[in-house]
Structure 1
Amino acid sequence: MTKFVFVTGGVVSSLGKGIASASLAAILESRGLKVTL
């Protein structure tokens, strides 16, 4: 089953969104899930 997570927001900078996405992906991968950014 494919699930999507969208990181949006006007206040957070583009760099902040990238870091948040990468951190979330690392956490999910550590739990054995396949993550594609």
Structure 2
Amino acid sequence: MPRFIFITGGVVSSLGKGLASAALGALLQARGYKVRLRKLDPYLNVDPGTMSPTQHGEVFVTDDGAETDLDL
């Protein structure tokens, strides 16, 4: 039976949600659990490049033109 752990923190950037998720996943894997990490940015019909940096954090543009955040 699959079990889920959700780590949330609203839209606050640089809070450490990704680091906490990775650390928890590593601890669970060390105990023999299968772990899959999924990141969800629920920006429906919103371009993060046009949002305020205080809402989303810094936006990076890759060579192919895609936009991503600090969790790259």
Per the normalisation by structure 2, the TM-score is 0.44
The residue type paired with residue 24 of structure 2 is: L
Higher relative helix content: 1
Partner of 2:68: none
Q: In the comparison of the two structures, how many residue pairs are matched?
A: 36
Per the normalisation by structure 1, the TM-score is 0.80
Partner of 2:57: none
Q: Which runs of 4+ in 1 moved over 2 A?
A: 12-15
- Percent identical across equivalent pairs? 67
Structure 1, gaps ≥5 residues long: none
C-alpha RMSD over aligned residues: 1.8
Please identify the structure whose Cα radius of gyration is greater: 2
Structure 2, gaps ≥5 residues long: 38-72
CA contact (8 A) 2:9 2:15 kept: no
Taking the aligned partners of 2:15 and 2:8, their CA distance within structure 1 comes to: 12
Pairing 1:5–2:5 present: yes
